[in-house]
Amino acid sequence: MTVALIDSGLGLLPTSAWLRRLRPELDLLLCLDPDGAPWGPKPAPWVVDRVLTAADRAIDHGAEVVVLPCNTASVTALEEVRAHLGTTVPVIGTVPAIKPAAAVSRSVAIWATAATTASAYQADLIARFGNGSDVVGVACHGLADAIDRGDGDLVTAAIDAAVAATPADCDAVVLGCTHYPLVADEIVARLPAGVTLFDSARAVAAQTLRRIDELDRDLGGIGSVSVLLSGRPGVLPASAVAYEAGRELCAARP
């Protein structure tokens, strides 16, 4: 069985790596969009069209399940992709881990892109799942782009700026962009002691596997990892090997 994961850049790596660890026989199709990246600042109709195009290409390449391990894609295009592909193709989106963080923390910061931080979607999630905790959004300017480029100095500078913008009494940080788990160790090292980090990559992978199991289909595969770059067969960007998840996926058979 082939599972397609769609993101503009390296944000699909954490969920892809968890799928490979949890179900190594699955074939993965990683759909990046270097021609259109980044998606966050783009108008919503443009993003919807871009994600639908990527989903169609994935189906043409044999995908039976589609995952959007990208907050921008999930916020903007999840329902459109589900309607477009129909009920026979499970489509799994990504939701920041606000609920589990707020369940155990009194003060929560959600690190995300500027677009997501300002979105009605995130405000609604905070209202629904904040559980009485103080929840604040922190726009991490440039962090996702720096991760895509594999630029360690820019990553560090963006993390330091986000730490400075995070309330001093915060005891939990939710990673609201799927790129950020790639540098989770550095984020933890630069946050004050005692701050717990939450991300949704493993939960999205687990939900994907639950949806796959519900299909009751042959899960046969060879554990391959294929890459489409704006629809063209290719390989992961060289910057992917800067991260553990990227190295795992680059080492897989094509």
Active site residues: 70, 177
Residues 176 and 109 sit within 8 Å (Cβ to Cβ):
no
Distance CA 214, CA 90 (A): 10
- Smallest CA-to-CA distance from 98 within 76, 119, 122, 79 is with 122
Q: Phi, psi at residue 173, to the nearest 5°?
A: -125, 125
Locate 152 and state its tokens: 């360690």
Helices 13-22 and 201-215 cross at an angle (nearest 10°) of: 50
Distance CA 129, CA 131 (A): 5
Residues 116 and 122 sit within 8 Å (Cβ to Cβ):
yes
> At 164, is the secondary structure helix, strand, or coil?
helix
> At 198, is the secondary structure helix, strand, or coil?
strand
- The string over 154-179, giving b where at least 16 C-beta atoms fall within 10 Å of a residue's C-beta and e elsewhere, is ebeebbebbbeebeeebbbbbbbbbb
Terminal C-alpha separation, the chain: 15
Task: Specify the residue for token string 């390449």.
Answer: 61
